[in-house]
Amino acid sequence: MKPQLPLALSTVLALTAAGCSKPDSTQEAATTTETKTEVAMETSVQESNPFFTESPLYMQYPQFDKIENSHYKPAFERGMQEHLLEIDAIVNQEEAPTLDNTLIPMEKSGQLLNRVARVFFSMTSANTNDTLEEIRSEMAPKLSAHNDQILLNEKLFARVQAIYDARDDVELDPESYRLIERVYTDFVRAGAQLSAEEKEKIKAINSDLATLQTAFSQNVLNEVNASAVVVETREELTGMSETKIEAAAQAAKAKDMEGKYLLALLNTSQQPPLASLEDRALRQRIMESSLARGSRGGDYDNREELTRVAKLRAERARLMGYENHAAFSLETQTAKTTTAVNDLLARLAPAAVANAKREAADMQSIIDSEGGDFQLASWDWDFYAEKVRKQRYDFDASQLRPYFEFDNVLTKGVFFAAEKVYGLTFKERHDLPVYQEDVRVFEVFDADGSTLALFIMDPFARPSKRGGAWMNAYVSQSNLMGDKPVVANHLNITKPTDGGPTLLTFNEVTTTFHEFGHALHGMFSNVKYPYFSGTSVPRDFVEYPSQVNEMWRIWPEILANYAVHHETGEAMPQELLDKVLATQRFNQGYSTTEYLAASLLDQSWHQMKPEEVPDAEGLLAFEAAALENAGVALDTVPPRYRSTYFSHIIGGYSAGYYAYIWSEVLDADTVEWFKANGGMTRENGDHFRQTLLSHGGATDAMTLFRNFRGADPDIQPLLVRRGLD
């Protein structure tokens, strides 16, 4: 049973959350009938808040059709109060601390807060609005303080420590033993062993960080929208597809710029139109607009926010006894140390840069042969890379798009691969509410026909949605709670304006398979405690299963099933398929260098002492020096993200953006294992699921890899894949 508050206390909390005070008997006697009616109506509204009770929908699926902006703040406030009452009950019991009377009740606590937080933070990423952003700004420091109230609670920590100290004296299953160790570590890393004065400093830093991080992410979204490039004439868009030109026209019309064209920006430095636009001046304008985001002055400039975050993180790390924030952050990752991360990045960077320079020389040759009187620039790269691809492989990437219709990619590619490898089947549900008209819901069935999960797909870009692609869970699997997973994937595909087919690039196909790998990790979870559910693994391990799932996009059996022409239904010609496969290592110098540059920037920001962090005015000079010192300062290859719109390092990937390449070592080695053991078979899929995917964070990450692979990871397959051998 999930803890419930007494009804009377629930009513008081509802009134308080709405800004009302609880009337005493004297006030009630003097209250007019009108006021009584108003109070009754307010109470009714608050008690109808869909977050206040567990969702009655299938598998606790969120009641998106009933959730309104006005529900979030009262639910957060009541949720925090309920949670603290539950913690107080744990702390103040007379019985000696045990797993059963302390840690398990802690795992069960805070259910209301969990419900509202999961939906709210998904909406502020996927479908936000001004009201939600105001609530986010208000709640960020309050939620930080709430977290500190629990993790810095001395009496609660005393109980946790007592259980930790006695963990070898009682009989425990492996998952329970790990829960004790992880919870104890969380308290220590939050500052539970610090002095009272130091704890107050930690609380202040955490509160400031919560506010700054929220402001940074809001600025990133606002700046993406504000930096959209306005194009005056259709002629300037020569080279773009008619579908994309029409989308640009519709985007301009929506902004009251009839007759013009608006090119929205993605959150990465490179922008998709640069690959096809023939107008070099427009390409330059797009790239310069992209690179200037967050550092061009104005309301959305992020230099102050980023430098303050870096300084505060460094100060907190010092308080905790660490040399820098990266050292603090990496301690719980599989990498463990800054030395390990620095060594990996330093090993890869020189070869990547050398490859990028060779690629640049090939493009310069084409520019020169065409009589171009200019040197290759960053805004030229994608455009001329396509020319090199066509020249070298007689292959234009745009030839693929007619064969990559989104619904085919999803159902006949992603879902079909999951059926072949894991025995899963999917049924679209039209009876469950969605928060936006393009969102789709699928029930996922296991090989034995039982329901495994609900899967939500949110494919299209919109101004209310942050950039990138991600997975999240609305309900996490837990045997303790009896919960099955409800997980979601979010993409940023451009939606056709004319109702025509959604045709993907090969990169978008890859992203669709990648994000579903995260979804599988969440759906296959089979753990007892919510703490370990699904993707609750180290940051430098979480990308590994999703990267493995990318392999199926080019697996012949899968590709043949989904890569069919959207008009004729004809399969992709074998000749074109062969060219796709032949170009897998094409342009890897660029893609590896831009990624490594961003990873090295992340480490530079987080391997500083507080006094070394630059001020806002010095940010751009610091960034340039960091790239130069790392040997990745190429004008033609900007970092995938510049510091001021690098959302990963403000969020959960601080000092952790290296995780993608770290995980790719495991991924590339795993792909070789699949190939060596018969490829796409249920036996192989079940082995991967049973030894690794189903365990979430309940077992040490590298132990899981060894259990699956039977050996330590080998970096050689990655070097070959990236052309770094």
> Could you tell me the CA-to-CA distances from 519 to 119, 362, 516, 524, 678 in Å, in that order?
17, 39, 5, 9, 24
The 8-class DSSP code of residue 602 comes to H
Tell me the C-alpha distance between 194 and 190, whole Å. 9
Q: How confident is the model at residue 499, as a pLDDT?
A: 79
Residue 259 has pLDDT above 80, yes or no: yes
CB atoms within 10 A of CB 461: 17
Cβ-based neighbours of 178, under 8 Å, separated by 6 or more: 532, 698, 699
Cβ-based neighbours of 694, under 8 Å, separated by 6 or more: 524, 525, 526, 527
Torsion sign (Cα): 532, 533, 537, 539: negative
pLDDT one-digit tens code per residue, 467-515: 899 999 999 999 999 999 999 999 999 898 877 899 999 999 999 999 9
First to last CA, the chain: 56
pLDDT one-digit tens code per residue, 86-135: 999 999 999 999 999 999 999 999 999 999 999 999 999 999 999 999 99
Task: Pull the structure tokens for residue 584.
Answer: 């897998």
47-56, long-range: CB within 8 Å, 24+ apart, which pairs? Answer: 47/10, 47/11, 47/14, 49/14, 49/74, 49/75, 51/75, 51/79, 51/112, 51/115, 51/116, 51/119, 52/10, 52/14, 52/78, 52/112, 54/2, 54/111, 54/115, 55/115
Q: How confident is the model at residue 497, as a pLDDT?
A: 80
Tell me the C-alpha distance between 618 and 635, whole Å. 20
Confidence of residue 578 (pLDDT cuts 50, 70, 90): confident
Task: Pull the structure tokens for residue 499.
Answer: 């109702």
Task: Pull the structure tokens for residue 287.
Answer: 């790239």
| Residue environment code for 339-365, b if the CB has 16+ CB neighbours within 10 A, otherwise e | ebbbebbeebbebbbebbeebbeebbe
pLDDT one-digit tens code per residue, 286-317: 999 999 999 999 999 999 999 999 999 999 99
Task: Pull the structure tokens for residue 364.
Answer: 């310069």
Confidence of residue 383 (pLDDT cuts 50, 70, 90): very high
> How many CA atoms lie within 13 Å of 652's alpha carbon, on the beta-carbon side?
11
Residue 151 has pLDDT above 50, yes or no: yes
Residue 55 has pLDDT above 70, yes or no: yes
> Could you tell me the CA-to-CA distances from 177 to 165, 169, 231, 465, 510 in Å, in that order?
12, 11, 61, 40, 38
Burial of residue 274 (CB within 10 Å: 0-12, 13-18, 19+) is buried
Q: CB–CB of 517/546 below 8 Å?
A: yes
pLDDT one-digit tens code per residue, 610-644: 999 999 999 999 999 999 999 999 999 999 999 99
The 8-class DSSP code of residue 411 comes to I
Packed helices 588-606 and 659-676: angle between N→C axes, nearest 10 degrees: 140
pLDDT > 90 fraction of the chain, expressed in percent and rounded: 87
Give 440's strand partners. Answer: 457
Residue 6 has pLDDT above 70, yes or no: no
pLDDT > 70 fraction of the chain, expressed in percent and rounded: 94
Active site residues: 515
Residue 427 has pLDDT above 70, yes or no: yes
The residue type of 246 is E
User: What order of strands is seen across the sheet that includes strand 425-429?
Assistant: 425-429, 440-445, 451-460, 486-493, 470-475
Average pLDDT for residues 399-405, to the nearest whole number? 94
Taking phi first (over 0 means left), then psi (-120 to 50 degrees means alpha), and beta for anything else, what does residue 610 get? alpha
Q: How confident is the model at residue 447, as a pLDDT?
A: 97
Q: How confident is the model at residue 705, as a pLDDT?
A: 97
> How many CA atoms lie within 13 Å of 516's alpha carbon, on the beta-carbon side?
27
Average pLDDT for residues 201-228, to the nearest whole number? 95
Cβ-based neighbours of 36, under 8 Å, separated by 6 or more: none
Reduced to 3 states, what is the DSSP secondary structure of residue 426?
A: strand
Q: How confident is the model at residue 47, as a pLDDT?
A: 67
The 8-class DSSP code of residue 504 comes to P
Cα–Cα nearest to 692, from 703, 681, 683? 703
Q: How confident is the model at residue 29, as a pLDDT?
A: 33
Cα–Cα nearest to 537, from 425, 701, 647? 701
Tell me the C-alpha distance between 659 and 196, whole Å. 35
Q: How confident is the model at residue 725, as a pLDDT?
A: 82
Determine which of 173-182, 389-398, 515-524, 616-625 has the lowest per-residue pLDDT on average.
Answer: 389-398
Give 457's strand partners. Answer: 440, 489
Write down the mean pLDDT value for the chain. Answer: 92
> Between β-strands 486-493 and 451-460, what pairing exists: parallel, antiparallel or unpaired?
parallel
Residue 424 has pLDDT above 90, yes or no: yes
The 8-class DSSP code of residue 505 comes to P
380-387, long-range: CB within 8 Å, 24+ apart, which pairs? Answer: 380/280, 380/283, 380/636, 381/270, 381/274, 381/590, 381/636, 381/637, 382/270, 382/274, 382/275, 383/274, 383/275, 383/276, 383/277, 383/278, 383/283, 385/275, 385/359, 385/587, 385/590, 386/275, 386/276, 387/363
Would you say how long the chain is, in residues?
Answer: 725
Q: How confident is the model at residue 395, as a pLDDT?
A: 83
Reduced to 3 states, what is the DSSP secondary structure of residue 695?
A: helix
Q: CB–CB of 542/660 below 8 Å?
A: no
Structure-model confidence comparison of residues 35 and 720, the more confident one:
720
Confidence of residue 46 (pLDDT cuts 50, 70, 90): low
Packed helices 69-91 and 154-165: angle between N→C axes, nearest 10 degrees: 60
Q: Report DSSP letters for 104-164, one per residue.
A: HHHHH--HHHHHHHHHHHHHHHHS--HHHHHHHHHHHHHHHHHHHHHHT-HHHHHHHHHHH
Q: What is the dihedral of CA 243, 248, 254, 256, to 10 degrees?
A: -140
